[in-house]
Structure 1
Amino acid sequence: GSAVVEHEHAHLSVAVSVAGLAVLGILEIVRSLYANRLAARFGARLGSAAFLAATNGPGAGFGDVQPLRDLATIRTFVASRSLFFLFDLPFGPLFLVLLYFVHPLLFAITLVGVVIMVIIALLNQAVTGRSGREAGDKLAATMNAAQTFARNFETVRALGMVSSIIEFWGDRFAQSLRASDKVARNNAFYSGLSRTVRILLQLAALAVGAYLVLADEMTAGMMFAASIISGRVLQPIDQIVGNWRQIAETGQAWKRVTALQKQVFGERHADVELPPPVGALTLDQVVYFLPNTDPGDLPLIKRLSFSVNAGECIAIIGPSQAGKSTLARLIVGAIQPRSGVVRIDGADIQNWRPDQLGKHLGYLSQEVELFPGTIGQNISRFEADPFDREIIAAAQRAQVHQLLLGLPRGYATVIGPMGVRLSGGERQRIGLARAFFGDPRILVLDEPNANLDAEGEAALERAILNARSGKRTVLLITHRPSLAAKCDRILMLRDGQIELYGPAQDVLHRLAQGQNKPVTQSAAANPAVGTANESRGLLDQSTPSRLQN
């Protein structure tokens, strides 16, 4: 009878063990699924913010999308087992208390082990923290350089620069690899040290437990239980040391993402939607410094003040580095002044929500960028459900409708890396149609004829004349006298300051005569004063001026 009972107990023990292992396996599966779902939810919640931060970040102009890479790093960490070891860490003190009740000596051994492993973790952080940041910065710089070379590879190949840039990029890639290898070596050393210390401590706990069993101070079951509990205390610390590089990279990624979010979303905007503007524009004492300017350097835009009446067409001219394109970017809110105010209909543009203000602005930058998608999507500014008639109307205003109809798929033609490649003139005219989309009240066009042939320039002149007749405010940056002559007034910039501002024919006449005479800022700030009192606001200048880019 006793043999049967023992046999049944053995079967029961096996069944309980198998059931326990099955439950453990199911819990691990649930844990992994939960981590993946949590990572996906995290990405969905912060994806838009990270994308916006990437487009507004310091490297956005070079195609750097570091915030999106940072988000991917954070998602990978959340989906990994490393996160759960962090969750296990707070239960360490509870397991230590349990060990004390098992036996104080085992508690003391484990406590000493915890102190040693915490010291190893702190040493690992101190050694790899700075080198990890350097490795990350070097890798990001290497990838940004690769993106720049890839975007301009036709120029690279045409100029015979392939071997040179391979050597240039390879040298920087090697530097990033050396920095990364240094971090890996340090982390591997401390990870191995931590793993060795943990195993030694668990073996020590088993040895002490065996001694206590022989001394009849505890049972064999308690010895194995103590070994398991000791492992639960030490394992999270060991795993954190082993995965410290991933944890550190995730921490740095989180700091960068949150810092950019605060910068992007810290802008102030009106709580109520402002009415559509009429188109009057005023700049008041606007000062702008280039990014990363050294202390003591002069600003690019120097206390600029002038006004434009609604419905006026203003040509902005001046030599290179005068600040013309920067002025255009300030007017449309693409960049922020260090001081001063840009106002539309009396309202500071910083008080407009960007998506609301953008509907009333048409902007064509000096370097026209079209985005992956169809021509129709680019013209409609990627609105979710635009009306076809509005897309066609914008193309017609830009005098590009017939050109688009001549393409194989018309407005549905896909452009971008996987689509049709357009000429510079075609991109410029499609960009102009995008600026006209929605019939905005203010148009800011930076060198809109830079890549146009004679036919395209004639179409541009018709588009500007139609905008003038429609009482739209137009600011046109150009170095073509033929275009400037068709505007109401001309504003000439030099060295970030207004040198001439007055009726187009008068300014062109003065330039032709070599009378390079600056108008005062107060006169420029008031259109009526700037026109009526222009002759009194001029001072003699010895250097002649002409229309320049």
Structure 2
Amino acid sequence: MANEFISGFRELKNARRENLHLFGIVFVFSVFVNILMLTGPLFMLQVYDRVLGSRSEETLVALFALVALLFFLMGVLDYARSRLMVRIGARFQKAISLRVFKAELLKAKHPKLRAQAAEGLRDIETMQALTNSPATMAIFDVPWAPVFIFAIFIFHPILGWLALGGGATLIVFAILNNVLTRRRTIEMQSTSIKAQSFAEESRQAVEIVSSQGLVSVVQNRWLQMKDLSLEKGVRASDWTGFFTTFSKAFRIFLQSAMLAVGAWLVLQGELTAGAMIAGSILLGRALAPIEQTIGQWALFQKSIAGWNALGILLSKHPEEETPMQLPRPEARLTVNAVNLLAEETRSPILSGISFELNPGEALGIIGKSGSGKSTLAKTALGLIAPTTGEIRLGGATLAQYGPEAIGSHIGYLPQELTLFDGTIAENIARMSQEPNEEQVVKSAIAANAHELILALPEGYQTVIRRGDGQLSGGQKQRIALARALYTDPVLLVLDEPNSALDAEGSDALNRAIRDFKSTGRSVLIMTHRPTAITECDTLAIVDQGAIRSFGPRDEVLRSGVRNATAVQSTLVKEAAY
């Protein structure tokens, strides 16, 4: 299991390694900042033991001027190292965020994982929040605690042992804080994510929720999940708050104890008043980063969990290698003995699928819902890798092209349409930052969508927002077809392409398919509607993931194959309707 996840953690370490020189600068600055932290105690020591004893104003002025200069320098260095840490977090995020975004897209290819939130992007934000917080500075300051405690030993061993015991107590409580709050923090995060995911699902399905009278049910279910999340959060915060409050109170008590013991030593003639005050200040400085670390421990835990989650995410979804660029393929799709098994049950989804689609032809895959049509479409696109068998486009396997090239060679109109926030022109141009306006119009004309786009108030510059309802389902479908044609593909894969089209839209779709075939390119259509197979030259009837009948369109429709009866009956009923 460890070897399985090593690659993702290596990527994270490489991204972190790019900032090692900046970490080195922060370390150097921290050295000087902590040395300059001795300015205050030493100043107090000199004031009490030298200035007050000698009653020398000149000495006081000189010491104060020096202290002012040293504190100014310390402030500059402290500010500089905090700014460097902010830039380290930004550089790390910039180095890894695109890779994480790609991994999230790869994860979303799996239907069962698609509904999950892009937690990897949240994990990056959490890790950056840690680098921006004072807690990170505490990490660089904690190693100086022994130095300050050693300085207290110089004043008097009793004070040193008191400081050492107090510091050890705080460290023990930091360990207990980690042990006792880690599981509770993870549970709180998990329940919170579930509540957020359910809220997002409900928001996306608001029409169903409202129309089916599910508002109160959804509200109650979300409230239960949120209450559980709050309960877990309160429990985790109770423990974290206990340790934070105790560490703060204990540190203040230790400083008072240091003053009390120091005063007793002064009365015994074993310590000066200046050393007593300086020891108290040094103790506060030694314990402050430990206390700060305990107070920010929840953020440390989130960052550690985020680091582990990112490592696993990147390992499970490695970056795809860019294959050698091949020339534009011939519009010939060959599917050879393709079998696809479900990952968990190993039950067959596609069984022995074989066919060849030649240039200038359209093949219709017809079958009942759940027969495997959409899965076959995604397999033909390379979105799903077959368990056995192969798919070739123009003689080369899909893997030899790579996802980017496949996207330009194969146009895809999915059953579930998605248009992005942006203009219609940007959507047709596949959200390209430098769209080819001529190709945008050409694609819209080829999809017979040009006129309907011009009829909109702002034409191609009409802005689309998800869920705004300004476009009908049929309009979206024709715009999505134009998007599929934008890169001048050699093959079109259409999954239920006229599910939202009226008679006029279906005629426009058929004209687009006819024109596409006339240029020597091919079309693969998944459907159970008779109007979608008008331009098909060949039909394949699919049932339970296997081809039951294959041949010329009219011959297949007239055949009396027993396994195709249900499909033919559906087509006849829809045609009559």
- If the length of structure 1 is used for normalisation, what is the TM-score? 0.85
**Are positions 1:389 and 2:411 aligned together?**
no
What is aligned with 1:452?
501
What is aligned with 2:452?
403
Question: 457, 475, 482: which one pairs with 1:426?
Answer: 475
Give the deviation of 1:98 after TM superposition: 4.7
Whole-Å separation in 1 of the counterparts to 2:485 and 2:222: 41
Question: Residue 97 of structure 2 aligns to which amino acid in structure 1?
Answer: G
What is aligned with 1:546?
568
Question: Residue 405 of structure 2 aligns to which amino acid in structure 1?
Answer: Q
Whole-Å separation in 2 of the counterparts to 1:195 and 1:435: 62
Question: Residue 198 of structure 1 aligns to which amino acid in structure 2?
Answer: R
What is aligned with 2:306?
253
| CA displacement, residues 435-462 of structure 1 (integer Å, 9 cap, x when unaligned) | 1111111211100100000000000001
Cα-Cα RMSD: 3.0
What is aligned with 2:19?
none
Whole-Å separation in 1 of the counterparts to 2:143 and 2:84: 20
What is aligned with 2:284?
231
Whole-Å separation in 2 of the counterparts to 1:329 and 1:165: 33
| Alpha-carbon spacing, 1:243–1:361, altered in 2? closer, same or farther (3 Å) | same
Whole-Å separation in 1 of the counterparts to 2:467 and 2:351: 44
Whole-Å separation in 2 of the counterparts to 1:311 and 1:145: 47
**Are positions 1:279 and 2:328 aligned together?**
no
Structure 2 gap segments, 5+ residues each:
1-50, 572-577
Question: Residue 488 of structure 1 aligns to which amino acid in structure 2?
Answer: D
Question: 169, 172, 185: which one pairs with 1:116?
Answer: 169
Give the deviation of 1:208 after TM superposition: 4.3
Give the deviation of 1:82 after TM superposition: 1.3
Contact 1:488 1:504 (C-alpha < 8 Å) held by counterparts? yes
Give the deviation of 1:357 after TM superposition: 2.2
SS at match of 2:547: strand
Whole-Å separation in 2 of the counterparts to 1:85 and 1:166: 43
Contact 1:310 1:472 (C-alpha < 8 Å) held by counterparts? yes
Contact 1:63 1:147 (C-alpha < 8 Å) held by counterparts? no
What is aligned with 2:563?
516
Whole-Å separation in 1 of the counterparts to 2:451 and 2:137: 61
Question: 236, 239, 242: which one pairs with 1:189?
Answer: 242
Whole-Å separation in 2 of the counterparts to 1:217 and 1:288: 85
Give the deviation of 1:99 after TM superposition: 5.0
Give the deviation of 1:100 after TM superposition: 5.2
Q: Which runs of 4+ in 1 moved over 6 A?
A: 2-5
What is aligned with 2:134?
81
SS at match of 2:370: coil
Per mean C-alpha deviation after superposition, the further-off stretch among 206-215 and 235-244 is 206-215
Give the deviation of 1:55 after TM superposition: 3.1
- If the length of structure 2 is used for normalisation, what is the TM-score? 0.81
Give the deviation of 1:322 after TM superposition: 1.4
Q: Percent identity?
A: 35
Instruction: Map residues 310-321 of structure 1 onto 2, 5 A cutoff.
Output: 310-321=359-370
**Are positions 1:170 and 2:219 aligned together?**
no
SS at match of 1:57: helix
| Alpha-carbon spacing, 1:149–1:6, altered in 2? closer, same or farther (3 Å) | same
Instruction: Map residues 258-337 of structure 1 onto 2, 5 A cutoff.
Output: 258-270=311-323, 272-289=324-341, 294=344, 296=345, 298-302=347-351, 304-337=353-386
Contact 1:360 1:441 (C-alpha < 8 Å) held by counterparts? yes
**Are positions 1:370 and 2:419 aligned together?**
yes
Whole-Å separation in 2 of the counterparts to 1:175 and 1:485: 55
What is aligned with 2:25?
none
Q: Which has the higher helix share?
A: 2
Whole-Å separation in 2 of the counterparts to 1:233 and 1:547: 83
Contact 2:419 2:466 (C-alpha < 8 Å) held by counterparts? no
Contact 1:485 1:508 (C-alpha < 8 Å) held by counterparts? no
Contact 1:362 1:443 (C-alpha < 8 Å) held by counterparts? yes
Question: Residue 197 of structure 2 aligns to which amino acid in structure 1?
Answer: N
| Alpha-carbon spacing, 1:286–1:174, altered in 2? closer, same or farther (3 Å) | farther
Question: Residue 177 of structure 2 aligns to which amino acid in structure 1?
Answer: N
Whole-Å separation in 1 of the counterparts to 2:389 and 2:150: 64
SS at match of 1:300: strand
| CA displacement, residues 134-171 of structure 1 (integer Å, 9 cap, x when unaligned) | 22122112112222222222232222322222222222
Give the deviation of 1:346 after TM superposition: 4.0
Whole-Å separation in 1 of the counterparts to 2:82 and 2:461: 43
Contact 1:54 1:64 (C-alpha < 8 Å) held by counterparts? no
SS at match of 1:359: helix
Per mean C-alpha deviation after superposition, the further-off stretch among 54-63 and 368-377 is 54-63
What is aligned with 1:43?
93
**Are positions 1:6 and 2:53 aligned together?**
no
SS at match of 2:330: coil
What is aligned with 2:28?
none
